[in-house]
Structures are given as structure tokens and as C-alpha cells.
């Protein structure tokens, strides 16, 4: 035990939590279940707690039977690895039997169940994640260093860093992600050296796991120091080979905006084709892939004014125009004052609808079929060039029709 205790944690004393704990304790005794990992770590830091994970001496089938007997819904979400999920008061509780690794391949592990808390702690990634708390909030620190690491802002692997990484190469990215979120100062040199030495192992991971870890890292308050360490160690080149070693644009972007997707865009070149290919390789969500590609179009420069910004909103949407303004800032084409002004112009503009349609084009004399469509396109181009005027549409349609017919005559 560490001598520490969790204080004032509503989730710990909530009726739905007590229901789960009491169900498991009825089957295995008071010491059969403890909270573990992120909820304990964040509670000690005074940070928000999202996920509630528990470790138990009970076997998965025993946990399920105990929960069902207490009327708690339970789902065998990962029963081969000892994990079931209880749902109490609409809140999920992931419950995993204490275990030790029998065999690992860098992605998956074959495990054996145990009733030894120290064995369970020994297979976890970092010492600050190997913290447990019982139903009364008493904190247990099996490695003897987890609480100290947490207080000092150190991300240190449990045991031998290379061994932990070879068990699951995702721990390379988690090392940098946890440093971004919880670390202070330079990364642990032993862990950093191991991550760099084994960086090629990232290629063995599923791209979905890599994507999720990368986005979580970039969502940290100040991710730049960790990303810089990824560059110097060679890990970023293995993770995102499309990225530049010049982190100047990324540093500016990370200071300007908090959105991880937009921060990611600043690691990539302003080349929509390259960016889209990178996002598809990582199997990013389709909406994110499209957003990254639009942000890379480079539509904002030193000459862009509010009028041009409205045209950009018309073609690329508010989000696309705003993203391009921030990319221009990160690339040094505009300063922070101008970027802020352009963003405000985009977000404050009430984008109108095209004021004419096929009926109006036909009334202006356009022949049914392709000529109507061409006339509307010519009208739209002129309307945008004139900064979206609210009137004069009949004259503009007539002018558009003349241009279409003149172009057709030249082509003939």
C-alpha cells in the first residue's frame, strides 16, 4: 500500500459503483477487486476520470455469475483475455481478471490468470498506470514508484523498457502520448532510447491502433515537446513518414488551436494528394480525411482579405476556410492578427443560398438541358466575383447566358 487515498471521488461512492463492487466482493471477499490504471492515476492528479477499470482475482465466469446474481447487466467483451463489462446505472465498468503474460508477439498476448496483484502490475506498461485502489479508496503501488512518478511527471516503463515494448509495440506511441499528457521535462532517457531502438516495430501494428494513439497524443495541451522527441528518436518517421522534420509549422499550430486533427495537418505538407493518401493509409475516418485534404489546399495567403475569405467559405465550407487560415498562419504566410481576422470573417458570415435556379435560367432564355446548367455555373462565378450581391440577378443571368452562347459559338 502507498499510504495515499483517493479523496472526494463521486464515482467511487456512487450507488451504481457500489453495486458492482459489492456483487464482486460477495463472491470473492473484500480484497478480490480494485480499481486500476487511469481512474486511479487521474483521481490522484485531480484530473477528470472517464473510464472505470477494475482488476479482480475472480475468474471471468465467476465475475459474470456474481454480477448476474446481483441483477447487474454484464457483457463478455474480452473474455479470452479475462475481461467482462458490467453496466450499472448506464455506466460501463470494465472488469479484468488478474493476469500474467505467457506469450507475446508485439501485438497480442496469450495470458494466464493469477491471483497475485504484483504479477498483474508487472505486465502493465508504465509505473504510473500500475496503481490500484480498493473500494475504500486506499491506493496500492506494487512497483513502489508509481505515485512518485506521477508526482514528478515521469513516464517510466514497468521493469525493462525493451521487454515491455516487445510485448506490444503500441507502447512506443503510448510512451510519447503519456509524456504529452502527464510528463514534465525531458522524457525518461531509458524509455526514449528503447523507443528509438525499437521504432521499426510500429510498422507491425494495425493502422487503426496507430491512428487512435496519434490523435490522443495530439489532443494533449502541449504536445510539441513529445512530438519533438518522436522526431529525434526516429519514431515519427516510422509512424508518419509523410511528416517533415521541421516542426516549426506544427509548433505554431499547436499553440493556436486545440483540435488534434488540425494539429496533425501541420505535420503534413500542404499537398492535398499527399495528405489524403496519408490519412487513408492510417484509415482515418472519412470526414477527417476530407477535412485534412481541404486544409492542405493552401487557399489563404498574404493577399487574402475578408472578401476572398467569403469566396473560400462558399467553395470549401466554413470549416475548410478556417482550417486554411490556420494553415497559412502555421506556414508563416499570415500573422496571428490577420489569421484571427480571417477566421472571424469566415465564422461570422451567414452563407447565402444560390439566389437563382433552373426556373430563373429558363425564364432568362436558356434552353432546357446543358445550357441551363452552364448558365447557372457562369452566373455563380460572376456572383462570387462580385461578393455575393443580394440583387441584380436578372441582369447577371442575362450576362451569364451571353457568355455561355459566345463560348459555344467559338467552340463550334
pLDDT at 105 over 70: no
**Looking at 351, 379, 403, which one is the last position of a domain?**
351
pTM: 0.90
Query: Of 107, 232, 98, 81, nearest to 168 (Cα)?
Result: 107
For the chain, the domain total comes to 4
On whether both 163 and 110 belong to a single domain, the answer is no
Q: How confident is the model at residue 79 (pLDDT cuts 50, 70, 90)?
A: confident
Residue 81 has pLDDT above 70, yes or no: yes
410 has pLDDT over 90: no
Look at residue 146 in the predicted model and tell me its pLDDT: 97
**pLDDT cut 90: percent of the chain above it:** 93
Residues 52 and 135 in one domain: yes
pLDDT digits (tens, 9 = 90+) for 353-371: 999 999 999 999 999 999 9
Same domain flag for 235 and 248: no
pLDDT band at 48 (very low <50, low <70, confident <90, very high): very high
Tell me: the pLDDT tens digits for 108-161? 667 889 999 999 999 999 999 999 999 999 999 999 999 999 999 999 999 999
6 lies in the same domain as 124: yes
Segment 222-261, tens digit of pLDDT? 999 999 999 999 999 999 999 988 999 999 999 999 999 9
Q: Provide the CATH number for the domain around residue 192.
A: 1.10.3090.10
Query: Do 88 and 29 fall into the same domain?
Result: yes
Residues 12 and 141 in one domain: yes
pLDDT at 1 over 90: no
| CATH number where 74 lies | 3.30.460.10
* The domain boundary residue, chosen from 351, 379, 402: 351
If asked whether residues 1 and 148 sit together in one domain, one would say yes
Q: Are residues 102 and 121 in the same domain?
A: yes
Which of 109, 126, 152 finishes a domain?
Answer: 152
76 and 183 share a domain?
no
Residue span of the structural domain in which 254 resides: 244-351
Are residues 284 and 381 part of one domain?
no
One domain, residues 219 and 259: no
Same domain, 143 and 173: no
Q: How far is CA 369 from CA 359, 364, 376, 411, in A?
A: 12, 14, 12, 18
| Residue 286: burial class (beta carbons within 10 Å; 0-12, 13-18, 19+) | exposed
Amino acid at each position: 500500500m502507498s499510504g495515499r487515498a483517493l479523496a472526494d471521488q463521486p464515482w467511487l461512492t456512487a450507488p451504481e459503483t457500489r453495486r458492482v463492487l459489492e456483487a464482486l466482493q460477495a463472491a470473492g471477499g473484500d480484497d478480490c477487486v480494485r480499481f486500476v490504471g487511469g481512474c486511479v492515476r487521474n483521481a490522484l492528479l485531480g484530473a477528470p476520470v472517464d473510464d472505470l477499470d477494475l482488476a479482480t482475482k475472480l475468474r471471468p465466469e465467476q465475475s459474470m455469475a456474481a454480477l448476474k446474481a446481483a441483477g447487474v447487466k454484464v457483457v463478455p467483451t474480452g473474455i479470452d483475455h479475462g475481461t467482462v463489462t458490467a453496466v450499472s446505472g448506464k455506466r460501463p465498468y470494465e472488469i479484468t481478471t488478474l493476469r500474467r503474460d505467457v506469450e507475446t508477439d508485439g501485438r497480442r498476448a496469450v495470458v494466464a490468470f493469477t491471483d497475485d496483484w504484483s504479477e498483474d502490475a508487472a505486465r502493465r506498461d508504465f509505473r504510473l498506470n500500475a496503481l490500484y485502489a480498493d473500494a475504500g479508496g486506499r491506493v496500492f503501488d506494487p512497483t513502489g514508484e508509481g505515485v512518485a512518478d506521477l508526482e514528478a511527471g515521469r513516464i517510466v516503463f514497468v521493469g525493462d523498457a525493451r521487454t515491455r515494448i516487445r510485448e506490444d509495440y503500441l507502447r512506443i506511441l503510448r510512451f510519447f502520448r503519456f509524456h504529452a499528457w502527464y510528463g514534465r521535462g525531458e522524457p525518461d532517457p531509458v524509455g526514449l532510447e528503447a523507443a528509438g531502438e525499437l521504432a521499426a516495430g510500429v510498422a507491425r501494428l494495425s493502422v487503426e491502433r496507430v491512428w487512435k494513439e496519434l490523435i490522443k497524443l495530439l489532443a494533449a495541451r502541449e504536445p510539441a515537446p513529445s512530438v519533438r522527441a518522436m522526431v529525434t528518436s526516429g519514431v515519427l518517421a516510422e509512424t508518419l513518414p509523410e511528416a517533415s522534420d521541421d516542426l516549426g509549422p506544427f509548433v505554431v499550430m499547436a499553440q493556436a488551436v486545440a483540435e488534434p486533427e488540425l494539429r496533425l495537418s501541420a505535420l503534413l505538407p500542404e499537398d492535398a494528394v499527399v495528405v489524403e493518401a496519408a490519412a487513408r493509409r492510417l484509415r482515418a475516418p472519412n470526414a477527417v480525411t476530407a477535412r485534412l485534404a481541404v486544409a492542405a489546399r493552401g487557399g489563404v495567403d498574404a493577399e487574402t482579405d475578408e472578401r476572398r475569405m467569403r469566396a473560400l467559405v462558399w467553395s470549401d465550407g466554413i470549416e475548410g476556410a478556417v482550417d486554411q487560415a490556420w494553415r497559412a498562419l502555421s506556414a508563416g504566410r499570415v500573422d496571428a492578427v490577420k489569421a484571427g481576422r480571417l477566421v472571424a470573417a469566415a465564422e461570422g458570415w451567414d452563407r447565402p443560398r444560390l439566389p437563382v435556379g433552373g426556373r430563373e435560367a429558363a425564364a432568362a432564355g436558356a434552353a432546357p438541358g446543358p445550357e441551363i446548367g452552364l448558365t447557372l455555373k457562369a452566373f455563380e462565378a460572376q456572383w462570387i466575383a462580385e461578393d455575393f450581391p443580394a440583387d441584380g440577378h436578372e441582369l447577371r443571368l442575362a450576362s451569364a447566358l451571353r457568355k455561355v452562347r459566345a463560348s459555344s459559338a467559338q467552340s463550334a
